[in-house]
Structure 1
Amino acid sequence: MSFGLYLYGIFPEEVAPPVGVNGLDGQAIASQVVDGFSFLYSEARQEKYLASRRNLLTHEKVLEQTMQAGFYTLLPLRFGLVVKDWESINAQLIKPYKEQLTELFQKLAGQREVSIKILWDTKAELQSMMESNPELKQQRDNMEGKKLSMEEVIQIGQLIESNLLARKQDVIQVFCHELNPLAKEVVESEPMTEEMIYNAAFLIPWDKESVFSDRVEAIDKQFGDRLRIRYNNFTAPYTFAQLAS
């Protein structure tokens, strides 16, 4: 039983479905041109799809395999989008947002999204901070074993926090100084864990990725074991393909 059409992404040109890749529920991938835009889709076998790891990976794989086939410019659609028919798409998406869609495709043409996530060991960083700041360490040590007032607790806590924040900003500044000039746009997002100190996406030219990755590797060597860097150099451009509501 079909519940409509499950949509993966929109392309500015007619797109060939990826070879050897099935969509959600094992359905075949197809493409449909509507008013000049090409939609990648499969038959929906459910009204709503659970955002399970398996389903999310399938959604991503369809888009990534299509990009690897040479269709680099796309607007990825959010997971779980099921529509009744193409008339609904035309009325609800294309007609009200056609100008924005065209502008987004112009912005994304020849560009790719890459992302950087920086993580560190907070305890190790705190220890290193104390060793490099004898005055702060002495102030903290002098308070150990004493009954402190709330004001004193707040004061030493704020001193430690501000010094740790300064070290964090010093690290982030290195990445921004080295990487931002290579990007057309940069979007910084909130860290996803306590250990993550920086989370950003970069829109860069397709042919400059090797330069970008070399720069990331050089920064990684500069900081050594102090940081863990997660670099994703191939993903659909979710961050830079947002339609204004």
Structure 2
Amino acid sequence: MGYGLYLYGIFPAPGPKNLQLKGLDGQPVQNHLIGEFAFLYSEAKQERYLASRRNLLGHEKVLEEAMQQGYRMLLPLQFGLTVEDWESVNQQLTAPYGESLKILFNKLEGRREVGVKVFWENEAELQKMVEENEILKAKRDRLEGQRLGMDQVIEIGQEIERGLEGRKQEIIEVFQAELNPLAVEMVENDLLTEKMIYNAAYLIPWDLEQTFSERVEKLDRLFESRLLIRYNNFTAPYNFSQLN
């Protein structure tokens, strides 16, 4: 039993040819033209797709493999998008938003998205901050072993929070000073864990990726073991293909 069509992304026509990719549910990935747009799709075998790790990675893999085969001009669609038929795609997307899609293609031409996530160890950073701050260290030593009142607990907690936030901001500013000049656009995303202090996506020219990568490595050496940096140099440009 079929449940319509599962959509992965949009390319300028004529779009990818002979990709020979397997999509969700092991279905062959195909290309369908609507005017100036080529849709990458497969037959949907489920009414609704659970956002499981397997399904999410399957969706991403289709887009990334298409890009790796040279089809770089891509507007990725959000995971889980199914439609009944192509007429509904035309009515709901290409007809009303066709010009906006073309503007996005123009913005992405010759450019790629890369991502940088930065993590630190909260406890280690707190200890390091106290050791480096003579006033805070003296206050800690003075109060050690005493029964603290609520006001004292709140005051110390706020001072520590301000100190950590300041250290975090100093690190972020170093990353921004090094990486932002290479980007056409950048987006700061939500922090996903307590240890994550920076989560940014950059839109850069394709031929500047090596330079960008070298700067990330330079930052990694600068902060040595203090930070964990995760750099994704090849991903579909989700952060820069949003319809207004």
Which interval holds the TM-score relative to the shorter structure?
A: over 0.9
Residues 1:174 and 2:193 are matched in the alignment: no
The residue that corresponds to 1:126 in the other structure is 126
Quote the sequence identity (%): 59
SS in 1 for 2:238: coil
Unaligned runs of 5+ in 2: none
Aligned to 2:148: 148
**Which residue does 1:14 correspond to in 2?**
14
Report if aligned partners of 1:112, 1:205 keep a CA contact under 8 Å in 2.
yes
The residue that corresponds to 1:195 in the other structure is 195
Relative to 1, partners in 2 of residues 1:98 and 1:19: Cα closer, same or farther, differing over 3 Å? closer
How many correspondences in the alignment? Answer: 244
Give the match for residue 110 of structure 1.
Answer: 110
Distance in structure 2 (CA, Å) of the matches to 1:95 and 1:150: 62
Q: Distance in 1 between matches of 2:225 and 2:238?
A: 31
| Residue 17 of structure 1: how far off its partner (Å) | 4.8
Amino acid at match of 1:55: N
Match of 1:98 in 2: 98
Letter in 1 for 2:66: T
**Structure 1 residues 209-239: Cα deviation after superposition (integer angstroms, max 9, x where no partner):** 0000000001100110000000000000011
Distance in 2, Cα, partners of 1:143 & 1:65: 59
Q: How far off its partner does 1:101 sit?
A: 0.7
Q: In 2 relative to 1, CA 192–18 (structure 1 residues): closer, same or farther, beyond 3 Å?
A: farther
Corresponding residue number in structure 1 for 2:56 = 56
- Residues 75 and 68 of structure 1, relative CA distance in 2, 3 Å threshold: same
C-alpha displacement at 1:178, in angstroms?
0.4
Distance of 1:147 and 1:11 partners within structure 2: 66
1:102 is displaced (CA, Å) by: 1.0
* Corresponding residue for residue 28 of structure 2: 28
Match of 2:236 in 1: 236
Q: Distance in 2 between matches of 1:16 and 1:177?
A: 38
Q: Distance in 2 between matches of 1:194 and 1:126?
A: 13
Question: Residue 165 of structure 1 aligns with which residue?
Answer: 165
Deviations 1:100-150 (A, max 9, x none): 111111111111000000001111111111111121111122222223222
Amino acid at match of 1:114: V
Query: Which ranges of 4 or more aligned residues in structure 1 deviate by more than 4 Å?
Result: none
Counterparts of 2:98 and 2:200, CA distance in 1: 28
Equivalence for 2:73: 73
Structure 1 residues 25-56: Cα deviation after superposition (integer angstroms, max 9, x where no partner): 11111101102100000111111111111111
Corresponding position: 1:206 with 2:202? no
8 Å CA contact 2:20, 2:28 repeated in 1: no
Tell me the TM-score normalised to structure 1 length: 0.97
Preserved CA contact (<8 Å) 2:20 2:29: no
Q: Would the aligned equivalents of 2:112 and 2:237 in 1 still touch at CA under 8 Å?
A: yes
Cα deviation 1:169-189 (Å, max 9, x = unaligned): 111110000000000001001
User: What RMSD over aligned residues (CA atoms) do the two structures have, in Å?
Assistant: 1.1
Amino acid at match of 1:155: E
Mind listing any 5+ residue stretches in structure 1 that lack a counterpart? Answer: none
- Deviation, 1:21, is 2.1
